[in-house]
């Protein structure tokens, strides 16, 4: 072990020495660069579309890790660096402690990215009034969808920008955000949650243990998505055998986030030849596309658009001026966003509640009062009475969000922490890190749902705990996702005394997920 430590130390020192040498060489080469379109590296001067704001320090002076030519700061996540890509959220937290409330780092081809940690700077970015806010898309997914014009007219709501984004969003997603749909789906969510409980009772072992508990929660999420989007049941929670279509969709959605992470943060060889990750991404996209393409075409042929019980599918199928390919891709994006993300958030919520005894007892008291028996169906009226559980949801999303930050591309120059940041800069608002700082939340690293109750309106910030985004780019399924978390958690905790085999470990797979398999003991409550 001592030898390995010495070897690593020597390697790091050597890398630092090489970095200094390369930096000197790079500085010389940069002065020789010709001002033409053949430049193959990112030039920060391209960002400046106007004069530097008065009294602001230069963009190049923003503190951050030392970049290498071509590779930028990617070396930080290699075997000689201090960070790991599957712990990217912790790396971004460490950069805050090392460099302060504003950090600039360079990704591949020396593309600059600015991380903001100050609550006022974050608010400035997220409150900026823009008709078409620019959020960076998923480059590999865009690349693939552009290569298949037979299937994709656009690159989808998640990736498209500007007027085209506004057109698709207004035509396809307004039903998702409606209060009426939220109330309409409450009973569906309650029934599906009861099916989840039945499956758990059937399949737990003699010691009340379930291994791979996350699979049950994801299956429940898939069933919810089908019920809400398509107005039909899939059978993902069947006690006997799961339909092949459910297994295929579970495989595709689970792997899609993982390969999106690999293609986004790894070396982009997929641009030049189909890598293993790119092939897996294409496979996942194709699986989801094939399933929903058949369903949409079947509905259109049978005139189901006017008869389906799903208001969401009604809106999508009857949307005027929208290509059928865009209707299909909108369903793909909604499915991909709605299964693992909400499932992971629910797992973190359960873990946070049961590992805080005082919180758990108060949740039990509320559930026993609102739901006298575990078999009670949750209605919109009863859901309103679960005030403390709703506060637990808000606190869990603050402490353990699935999305730890919000990204924007600036449309005008700003000054943050005294530094000029030009238009065109990719800015990442590190909301999760900011939410864990004492200056923003009292006892920030403690799970305290009471801070979200009406009786305690102090010590909140409207632009930090924003796991669904904010403004025009906010997730349209926010209301449904919150209801899903509430109802599944309420039904599980009303039926079972739950304990986790060990604390959940967070891993970064494009979004933050609990590392599986998750072992959970579920004992019957009286």
Q: Which residues fall within 8 angstroms of residue 472, CB to CB, at 6 or more apart?
A: 130, 131, 132, 133, 169
Beta bridge partners of residue 56, listed in sequence order: none
Q: How far is CA 351 from CA 347, 358, 458, in A?
A: 6, 14, 26
- Provide the terminal-to-terminal Cα distance of the chain, rounded to the nearest Å: 52
Q: Which residues fall within 8 angstroms of residue 451, CB to CB, at 6 or more apart?
A: 391, 395, 441, 442, 459, 460
SS3 of 155, please? coil
Q: Write the secondary structure of 274-318 as one string of H (helix), E (strand) and C (coil).
A: CCHHHHHHHHHHHHHHHHHHHHHHHHHHCCHHHCCCCHHHHHHHH
Separation of alpha carbons 288 and 249, rounded Å: 6
Neighbours of 444 (CB within 10 A): 17
Contact 224, 192 (CB under 8 A): yes
Neighbours of 505 (CB within 10 A): 11
- What are the residue ranges of helices labelled H in 88-132? 88-99, 119-127
SS3 of 260, please? helix
Contact 123, 109 (CB under 8 A): no
Q: Which residues fall within 8 angstroms of residue 66, CB to CB, at 6 or more apart?
A: 19, 23, 73
Q: Write the secondary structure of 20-46 as one string of H (helix), E (strand) and C (coil).
A: HHHHHHHHHHHHHCCCCCCCCCCCHHH
**Do β-strands 511-514 and 506-509 pair in parallel, antiparallel, or remain unpaired?**
antiparallel
Contact 359, 502 (CB under 8 A): no
392 is in an annotated binding site: no
Separation of alpha carbons 400 and 394, rounded Å: 10
- Residues forming the annotated binding site? 475
- Residues forming the annotated binding site for heme? 475
């Amino acid at each position: 072990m001592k030898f390995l430590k010495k070897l690593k130390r020597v390697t790091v020192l050597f890398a630092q020495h090489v970095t200094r040498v390369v930096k000197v060489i790079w500085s010389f080469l940069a002065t020789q660069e010709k001002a033409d379109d053949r430049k193959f590296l990112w030039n920060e001067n391209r960002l400046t579309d106007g004069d530097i704001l008065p009294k602001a320090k230069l963009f190049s002076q923003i503190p951050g890790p030392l970049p290498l030519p071509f590779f930028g700061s990617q070396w930080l996540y290699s075997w000689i660096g201090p960070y790991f890509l599957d712990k990217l959220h912790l790396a971004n937290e460490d950069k805050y402690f090392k460099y302060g409330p504003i950090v600039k780092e360079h990704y591949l081809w020396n593309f600059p990215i600015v991380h903001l940690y100050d609550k006022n700077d974050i608010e400035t970015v997220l409150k900026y009034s823009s008709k078409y806010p620019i959020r960076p898309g998923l480059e590999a997914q865009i690349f693939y969808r552009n290569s298949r014009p037979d299937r994709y007219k656009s690159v989808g709501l998640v990736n498209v920008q500007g007027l085209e984004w506004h057109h698709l969003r207004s035509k396809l997603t307004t039903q998702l955000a409606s209060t009426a749909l939220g109330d309409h789906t409450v009973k569906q969510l309650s029934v599906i949650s009861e099916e989840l409980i039945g499956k758990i009772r059937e399949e737990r072992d003699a010691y009340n243990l379930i291994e791979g508990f996350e699979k049950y929660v994801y299956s429940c999420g898939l069933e919810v998505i089908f019920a809400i989007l398509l107005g039909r049941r899939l059978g993902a929670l069947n006690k006997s055998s799961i339909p092949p279509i459910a297994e295929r969709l579970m495989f595709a959605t689970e792997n899609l986030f993982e390969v999106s992470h690999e293609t986004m943060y790894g070396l982009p060889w997929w641009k030049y030849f189909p890598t293993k990750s790119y092939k897996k991404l294409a496979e996942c996209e194709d699986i989801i596309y094939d399933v929903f393409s058949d369903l949409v075409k079947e509905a259109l042929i049978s005139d189901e658009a006017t008869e389906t019980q799903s208001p969401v599918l009604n809106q999508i199928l009857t949307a005027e001026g929208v290509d059928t390919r865009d209707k299909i891709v909108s369903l793909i994006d909604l499915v991909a966003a709605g299964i693992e993300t909400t499932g992971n958030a629910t797992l973190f919520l359960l873990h946070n509640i049961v590992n805080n005894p005082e919180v758990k007892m108060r949740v039990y008291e509320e559930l026993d009062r609102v739901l006298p028996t575990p078999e009670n169906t949750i209605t919109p009226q009863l859901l309103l009475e679960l005030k403390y559980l709703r506060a637990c949801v808000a606190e869990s999303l603050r402490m353990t969000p699935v999305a730890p930050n919000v990204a924007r591309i600036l449309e005008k120059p700003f000054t943050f922490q005294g530094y000029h940041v030009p238009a065109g800069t990719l800015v990442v608002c590190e909301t999760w890190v900011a939410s864990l700082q004492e200056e923003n939340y009292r006892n920030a690293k403690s799970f305290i749902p009471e801070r979200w109750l009406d009786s305690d309106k102090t010590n909140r910030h409207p632009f930090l705990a924003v796991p669904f985004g904010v403004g025009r780019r906010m997730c349209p399924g926010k209301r449904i996702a919150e209801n899903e978390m509430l109802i599944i958690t309420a039904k599980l905790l009303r039926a079972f005394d739950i304990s986790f085999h060990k604390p959940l470990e967070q891993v970064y797979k494009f979004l933050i997920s609990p590392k599986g398999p998750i072992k959970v003991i579920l004992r019957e409550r009286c």
